C-alpha cells in the first residue's frame, strides 16, 4: 500500500489551504468486505490464518491503479451485509452497522467497493438470496445518504461485487454445517446483485466470473484467486475513479 505517501499527503493537507489540499490529496478506494478481503487462507482444519497483506487482492489492486490512488482494505471475517450475527457481542459483524463509521474514519472516499453476502448464507440466519440482495441495497443506500456531521463531500461512487459461489469442496469441512444449503443459494448472487446495482445506478462486477472457491474449504480465495480478482476489477474501479 502507498502508506508513506498517504501519511505525507495527510500532513501536507493540514498545512495547506482547503482548496489546495483538496487538489493534492490522493484519490481513495475503500474495499469493504469479509474474510476474503481480510486475506483468510483456505483451510479445512485450521481456519483463521491470514496471507501476507501484499498477497491479498486489495493490496494487489493498489499496485495496479495509478500512483495517486490509495486502496484501503476494510475486511472482517464473518461480516454480513446488514445482519447482526452476534447480538450483544463485542464485535459488530453487521456491515450496515459499521459502514457509516468506516466511511467517516477513512474519508474522503472516492470509490467504495462492496463485496459481502457469503456470511449471510449461514444456515442459522435463514436468509434467502433476495434477503441478502436487500442487505446489499441497504449498504449502498447508507453510503449514498450518510454524511459525517459538518461535511458536504459527495457520496462515493460504488461498485457492488457479487461474491463467487460457495464450492462443493466445503462438504466434509468444519464449515459445511454452518453453510448448509449455501452452495445452491450462492449461485444466485450475480443475478440478484446485478439487479440491485442497475436499479440503484451503481457499478456491478461478478467476482465469480474470474475466481472460484474450489479450495480446501470451499469458501476462501487462494493466492491465484487474489491476483486474478485484483487484475479483473482494476478496470471497473478505474472507470469509476475517472467518472465525472
Domains of the chain, by residue range, sit at 26-242
Read off the C-alpha cell for 58: 486489495
Q: For residues 164 and 212, is the Cβ–Cβ distance under 8 A?
A: yes
By DSSP bridging, strand 27-33 and strand 69-75 are parallel
Taking only the tens place, the pLDDT of each residue in 169-213 is 999 898 999 999 999 999 999 999 999 999 999 999 999 999 999
Q: Which CATH architecture has domain 26-242?
A: 3-Layer(aba) Sandwich (3.40)
- State residue 48's pLDDT score: 80
The SS3 of residue 29 is strand
Contacts of 150 (CB under 8 A, 6+ apart): none
- Positions of the chain with pLDDT lower than 70, given as ranges: 1-24, 244
- Preceding amide of 108 cis, omega within 30: yes
- State residue 12's pLDDT score: 44
List the beta bridge partners of residue 32.
74, 114
- State residue 21's pLDDT score: 47
- State residue 2's pLDDT score: 59
- State residue 5's pLDDT score: 47
- State residue 53's pLDDT score: 97
Q: For residues 160 and 203, is the Cβ–Cβ distance under 8 A?
A: yes
State pTM to two decimals.
0.90
Instruction: Name the one residue in this structure whose C-alpha cell is 485450521.
Output: 46
Amino acid at each position: 500500500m502507498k502508506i508513506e505517501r498517504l501519511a505525507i499527503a495527510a500532513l501536507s493537507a493540514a498545512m495547506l489551504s482547503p482548496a489546495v489540499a483538496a487538489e493534492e490529496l490522493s484519490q481513495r478506494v475503500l474495499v469493504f468486505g469479509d474474510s476474503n478481503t481480510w486475506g483468510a487462507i483456505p483451510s479445512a482444519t485450521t481456519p483463521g490464518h491470514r496471507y501476507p497483506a501484499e498477497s491479498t487482492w486489495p493490496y494487489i489492486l493498489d499496485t495496479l491503479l495509478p500512483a495517486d490512488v490509495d486502496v484501503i482494505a476494510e475486511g472482517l471475517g464473518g461480516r454480513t451485509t446488514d445482519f447482526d450475527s452476534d447480538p450483544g457481542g463485542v464485535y459488530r459483524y453487521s456491515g450496515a452497522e459499521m459502514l457509516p463509521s468506516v466511511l467517516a474514519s477513512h474519508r474522503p472516499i472516492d470509490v467504495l467497493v462492496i463485496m459481502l453476502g457469503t456470511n449471510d448464507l449461514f444456515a442459522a440466519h435463514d436468509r434467502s438470496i433476495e434477503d441478502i440482495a436487500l442487505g446489499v441495497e441497504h449498504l449502498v443506500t447508507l453510503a449514498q445518504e450518510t454524511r459525517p456531521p459538518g461535511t458536504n463531500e459527495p457520496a462515493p461512487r460504488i461498485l457492488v461485487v457479487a461474491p463467487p459461489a460457495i464450492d462443493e469442496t466445503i462438504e466434509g469441512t468444519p464449515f459445511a454445517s454452518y453453510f448448509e444449503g449455501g452452495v445452491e443459494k450462492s449461485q444466485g448472487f450475480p443475478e440478484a446483485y446485478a439487479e440491485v446495482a442497475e436499479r440503484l445506478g451503481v457499478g456491478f462486477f461478478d467476482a465469480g466470473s474470474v475466481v472460484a472457491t474450489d479450495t480446501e474449504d470451499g469458501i476462501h480465495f487462494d493466492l491465484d484467486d487474489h491476483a486474478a480478482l485484483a487484475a479483473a476489477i482494476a478496470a471497473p474501479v478505474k472507470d469509476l475513479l475517472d467518472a465525472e
